[in-house]
Amino acid sequence: MWKVYKSQIPETQTVQQYIREHTDFLQVRDIKPELDVQNNMLEISGLQFDWEALGDSIEESFWRYGSGNEKGYRFVSHDNPTGQPTESTSYTCLSIVHNPKHIENLPQNYSTLGTRMMKGDRYYRGGKRHENDTAVMPEILKDSYYDSWSFTEVTEAANNGALKDLSNECLNRSLIRGRIGKIDSKPVDRNHGECHIADGWHKDEHLLENTRIMIPLITSNNFCLQIKDNPKDYKFELGNAYVMDTHIPHRVIPLDENAREYRIHIIYGTNPWFDYNKEEDSWTSNEFYGKMHPFDMIAAGYYFKQPINTRII
């Protein structure tokens, strides 16, 4: 068992970096799942929630905790320190979790959405626009934007109304950085071929460092998720949750760029192998560490508090 207290981590490291350096995490994290999802999607069904009430609550969160005009925030940067979207911004977000010790003291509802230290020439991580782009990281990383595992407190936006149930009573795993995303229609090149960043293709963190549970709350037939080397257009259905290996390039696009529709998904970032203890401000490896892939944990019922069914789609 591994146990790491936040207090023992130096200012120059995130929790993840510290754990990679001081445990055998890097050796064990490339575990292969028994459930062979590959570059497909795992659908989770059977969740019992009041989905209509959740839809109402999330709409309310956007007008109550967003930036105005029922929009959330776009990415915070040196040039946009309050994450204000413009008229044409089609994708805006609210934070699900925040870090009360965040070094930039960002307001909780956009606390995970960027850093004021990010200037045009800096990248959050390597390979951002081109394969050989390197990340330019600030010196202090503990409790910064980059410290994904230090975002552990549920925000007002994710605790609003019926969302309180979903954010606190759905998952058995500790929450880390995640977001609520609202996307409007916007023209995009539908070509599957090249997976250009400019067309929305991107990779998220390693699955064992952040397993993203995607739950649609306002759905629209007009949007689909695409995964590299997979010809399917995934449309999410209300009442289900979805999980994939988000370390494989993927994107969300509108099918009809002229339709005036939007959709809202909540994407809980979860830590599959480490559990957070708030009193101690510590992370401890759990019984699945190095032994069970998150896909198998989900299928075996260790991820959701309710009984669920899973299938690969």
Which residue number, 202 or 311, has a Cβ lying nearer to Fe ion? 202
Closest residue to bound Fe ion by CB: 204
Question: Toward Fe ion, which CB reaches closer, 171 or 248?
Answer: 248
Q: Which is nearer to Fe ion, 189 or 280 (CB)?
A: 189
Nearest-approach distance from CB 238 to Fe ion, in angstroms: 20
Q: How far is the CB of 210 from Fe ion (least distance, A)?
A: 10
- By C-alpha distance, which of 148, 183, 155, 166 is closest to 270? 148
CB nearer to Fe ion: pick between 143 and 245: 245
Name the minimum Å distance from CB 110 to Fe ion.
Answer: 18
Minimum distance of Fe ion from residue 124's CB (angstroms): 13
Contacts of the segment 225-233: beta carbons below 8 A, 24+ positions apart: 225/41, 225/250, 225/251, 225/252, 226/192, 226/250, 226/251, 226/252, 226/253, 227/39, 227/40, 227/41, 228/39, 228/195, 228/201, 229/39, 230/39, 230/40, 231/192, 232/40, 232/313
Q: Which 236-265 positions form the footprint of Fe ion (CB under 5 A)?
A: 246
| 204 lies in the site for Fe ion, by CB under 5 A | yes
CB under 5 A: which stretch of 196-204, 213-221, 255-263, 291-299 binds Fe ion? Answer: 196-204
Closer residue to Fe ion, CB minimum distance, 19 or 207: 207
Q: Which two tokens stand for residue 132?
A: 């050989």
Q: Specify whether the CB–CB gap between 2 and 285 falls below 8 A.
A: yes
d(CA 85, CA 50): 31
Chain residues binding Fe ion by CB under 5 A are 204, 246
